[in-house]
Amino acid sequence: MKKTIYLCIIAFFFTLSAVLLILYYTQEFDEKINFKPLLTKDEIDYKYSGDVIQEINVELGELVLENNGIFSEIYSFPEIVGCLNFKSDSTTISRRQIRVYLDYLSEKNYPVNKNPLEIPVGEKITFKIKGKYSPYSNEISLAKLKESIQTISLYKISKKEPNPFESYYDYYSNYVDCNSLSLDSKPLQVIPILI
């Protein structure tokens, strides 16, 4: 008799766990990545010394997260990499990668550096997707950049799952070769640039 009661209790908790998991993974949660269709000169912030560019900042779009489910959603931010595309292959600009990052655009201060982020039930959160380009040791003039650059390709990189037995963990996109990405992957979005 005791075995039957124990088996019924175990079956009940197993069924309850399965139902809760099904409800969690099928709840209504929306992730929308909206990139700008075009970037113009007025939307790009240049920082330069003399005629040499030190840094370029631009808003690329928005990430909108909405949780209409019955449980809080644990959300991991996507890893997005941007690459400059040039009008010709003979350009002397060697650095193509753009660092893509998120900035919150909400009444509540959601930390974008906390990954994953817990999104409460009924919340709609909007993050700005921004890009930053630094030529580092390559001296590029604004005129050279204007005549060379054509578009920005944005790629979503799959994150590696963390190994719980390693103390150090590094994401793939710390160094991404844009030439390999353009050959091996399809971009999420290609944004034309009118400078």
Q: Which residues contact 17 (CB under 8 A, 6 or more apart)?
A: none
Instruction: Grade residue 171 by pLDDT with cuts at 50, 70 and 90.
Output: very low
Pull the structure tokens for residue 154: 């944005």
- How many Å from the N-terminal Cα to the C-terminal Cα in the chain? 80
pLDDT value at residue 154: 92
| pLDDT higher at 108 or 57 | 57
Residue 110 CB partners (closer than 8 Å, separation 6+): 104, 117, 125, 127
Pair 188, 154: CB distance under 8 Å: yes
User: Which tokens is 105 given?
Assistant: 């655009």
| Euclidean distance between CA atoms 151 and 194, whole angstroms | 9
Task: Please compute Rg for the chain using Cα positions.
Answer: 23
Tens digit of each residue's pLDDT (9 = 90 or more) over 134-164 = 887 777 887 787 788 889 999 988 765 555 4
Residue % of the chain over a pLDDT of 70: 82
26 vs 33, 120, 125, CA distance in Å?
20, 16, 20
